[in-house]
Structure 1
Amino acid sequence: MTINHKIIMKEVQDYVVITLGLFLYAFGFTFFLMPYEIVTGGVSGIAAIVEYASGFPNQYTYFLINLALLVIALKILGLKFLMKTIYAIIVLTFLLGLMKELVPRDESGEMVKILGEGQNFMSLIIGCMMTGSALGIVFLNNGSTGGSDIIAASVNKYYNMSLGTVLFILDFMIVGSCLFIPQFGDMLDRTHMVVFGFCTMLIENFMLDYIYNRRRSSVQFLIFSEKWQEIANAIGTRMDHGVTILDGHGWYSGKERKVLCILAKKNESTDMFRLIKMIDPHAFVSQSAVIGVFGEGFDAIKVKTPNNTNIDPTAPKTPKLKTT
């Protein structure tokens, strides 16, 4: 019963945080990017391009394109991911429409440029920082805003390629398409739009990777203490963490001592330090960032293995013979 309660609370927390992330995305996109007709990537970028060129509301284009992509999410990412994706698509469609009603407009009905005329690049920076951070928040809580996010999450599931890299490739093609749309003016105007679009890609994907990887980053602890046994027991039982005990030898003291080696998520660092200090305030602790941790409890190893089952990975590599 307690486990079910925790699962329900975790799901509720995911949906609440996803909703906040979607609100931030809709606000940044509508208030800072659309009034300046700044192009972005993804399905929301395609929807914006359609609205700039034809006037067809972007929220409807966004919704229709995502309907076609939900089948991919169901097959590759599973029903749990699909439910949150459907939720995000519906909520974001509603929020995009709502924000367009709330954004200030002038006498002619055009969206007011919040930062004033000539502030296109500053508005781009602010807007993309919001949308990129929002995407990172949504992904961290097992959600997706649909569209190219589905493709990025699918690739990230099987390959060790960052979400930002996948989205960058997709967005490059979407933004580049503006060069071939005559409704955006002459070639110089279209070139300006594409250049600004590439800037949105860089800022948005940087923020996405920064938010997403900061939460997932890991650290390594080396703990030197006379009370190593008590610390190991406390970490193993209270924090449900594995502990590796290494044999050490002090150069100055000449004494044998035990060293605790622990790999943990970065957001667990405060709890780890608090627990160590409660047991031994004089413990010597080394904390270092690690590039990646793969295995049980951390990230999966996402590399391809040979299909030939007869290959012995422990056998020495056969040297290649050079011919002259």
Structure 2
Amino acid sequence: MTIGSSTILRGIKEYLLITLGIVIYTVGWAIFLTPNNLIGGGVSGISAIIQYATGIKMGYSYFVINTVLLIISVIIIGPAFGAKTVYAIILASVCLNVFQAIIPETIIQDFALSNGKLMCSIIGGSMAGVGIGMSISQGGSTGGTDIIAMIITKFRNISPGRIILTIDVFIIASSLLFPSFGADGQAIPFDAKFSIAVYGMIIVTVNGYVVDLYLSGSKQSVQLFILSRHYEEIADMIAKDFHRGVTVLNGEGWYTKKPASVLMVITRKTDLNLLLRSIKRVDSDAFLSISSVSGVYGQGFDSIKGAKKS
């Protein structure tokens, strides 16, 4: 496979995962949150407040508000991130309106309204977290506070979920200041709005936790030590097919008293199964040791973030 075709396939995969994340994110809103007049964080939370107060569908205000943040993200993070964010914001804006219109009322009644606000807060918040996590992991964004989170994490080692949670608390609290009307057109009293705000805190807490959980899983790395008589062939295969660096360590087998070459490789956990199968095809008798690593920084992995020296 050529470098060009590999890049194209990787780009297609990234956009497909961003698309799936957006669908999960917006379906969570359409089924579990909006029908219960629940409010989440970020621009989607602001858009929900606007919809409950004015009747303007979430997708419209979501798109308008995110345009400003989109411009900021292009300037600070770069055009590649901006292109993916444009795609994610447009898709989310459309899906927020479309899913609210096409999802049958019976599904909403069976899955959301009949299960209570607490259950819907947990499920909707979890779905939103998974969607945001999938988008961020591919270099995109669902807009709103996760754009701010990506900007901050570019310079600081702070978890995106914690940043999102801090900002979203203020959005949830601000919902108490605005009028809110249910699907029947009746105004929601303040005591009910206070309860909704509490549920909103649950939503953003679950959301932030799931984002961190997803990102830590997708970025988890493993370290392999490989002992094989065909170490050169295995090293070439890893470098060519997986685009990972390989370190050759010179050792000695204590039992055989013969020199041995050991390969050390660090790769993403998501690539581990495919890598093991590839090694087995080269040498089914290869000896492997696998361990998890808490952090990997450098080319091909995470960068060390910190304030730039003046």
Describe the SS at the equivalent of 1:288. strand
- Which residue number corresponds to residue 272 of structure 2? 269
Cα gap change, 1:189/1:213 in structure 2, threshold over 3 Å: closer, same or farther? same
Q: Displacement, 1:167?
A: 0.9
Most deviating of 175-184 and 96-105: 175-184
User: Of 147, 150, 153, which residue of structure 2 is paired with 1:156?
Assistant: 153
Distance 1:239 1:182 in 2: 55
Describe the SS at the equivalent of 1:158. coil
User: Of 173, 186, 189, which residue of structure 2 is paired with 1:185?
Assistant: 189
- Which residue number corresponds to residue 115 of structure 1? 112
Is the counterpart of residue 290 in structure 1 residue 293 in structure 2?
yes
Describe the SS at the equivalent of 1:296. coil
CA contact (8 A) 1:222 1:287 kept: yes
Most deviating of 2-11 and 82-91: 2-11
CA contact (8 A) 1:160 1:303 kept: yes
TM-score, normalised relative to structure 2: 0.86
Distance 2:48 2:96 in 1: 11
Most deviating of 147-156 and 188-197: 188-197
Most deviating of 223-232 and 277-286: 223-232
Is the counterpart of residue 224 in structure 1 residue 227 in structure 2?
yes
CA contact (8 A) 1:131 1:204 kept: yes
Describe the SS at the equivalent of 2:11. helix
- Which residue number corresponds to residue 164 of structure 2? 167
- Which residue number corresponds to residue 322 of structure 1? none
Is the counterpart of residue 135 in structure 1 residue 132 in structure 2?
yes
Cα gap change, 1:220/1:3 in structure 2, threshold over 3 Å: closer, same or farther? closer
- Which residue number corresponds to residue 97 of structure 1? 97
Cα gap change, 1:303/1:278 in structure 2, threshold over 3 Å: closer, same or farther? same
Distance 1:295 1:180 in 2: 47
CA contact (8 A) 1:103 1:112 kept: no
Describe the SS at the equivalent of 2:270. helix
Question: Counterparts of 1:1-324 in structure 2 under 5 Å?
Answer: 3-105=3-105, 112=109, 114-117=111-114, 119-181=116-178, 183=180, 184-186=188-190, 188-251=191-254, 254-304=257-307, 306-307=309-310
Q: Displacement, 1:150?
A: 1.6
Q: Displacement, 1:251?
A: 4.9
5+ long unaligned stretches in structure 1? 308-324
CA contact (8 A) 2:35 2:113 kept: no
Cα gap change, 1:119/1:272 in structure 2, threshold over 3 Å: closer, same or farther? same
Distance 1:279 1:117 in 2: 56
Q: Percent identity?
A: 36
Per-residue CA deviation, residues 39-88 of structure 1 (Å, 9 max, x unaligned), is 10010011112222333322222122112222211211222222222222
Counterpart residue type for residue 82 of structure 1: G
Q: Displacement, 1:197?
A: 1.1
Cα gap change, 1:268/1:114 in structure 2, threshold over 3 Å: closer, same or farther? closer
RMSD (Å), alpha carbons: 2.5
Q: Displacement, 1:223?
A: 1.6
Counterpart residue type for residue 159 of structure 2: S
Describe the SS at the equivalent of 2:142. coil
Per-residue CA deviation, residues 242-295 of structure 1 (Å, 9 max, x unaligned), is 221223344555554332211111122123212322233222211111111101
Distance 1:243 1:296 in 2: 13
Describe the SS at the equivalent of 1:119. helix
5+ long unaligned stretches in structure 2? 181-187
CA contact (8 A) 2:221 2:269 kept: yes
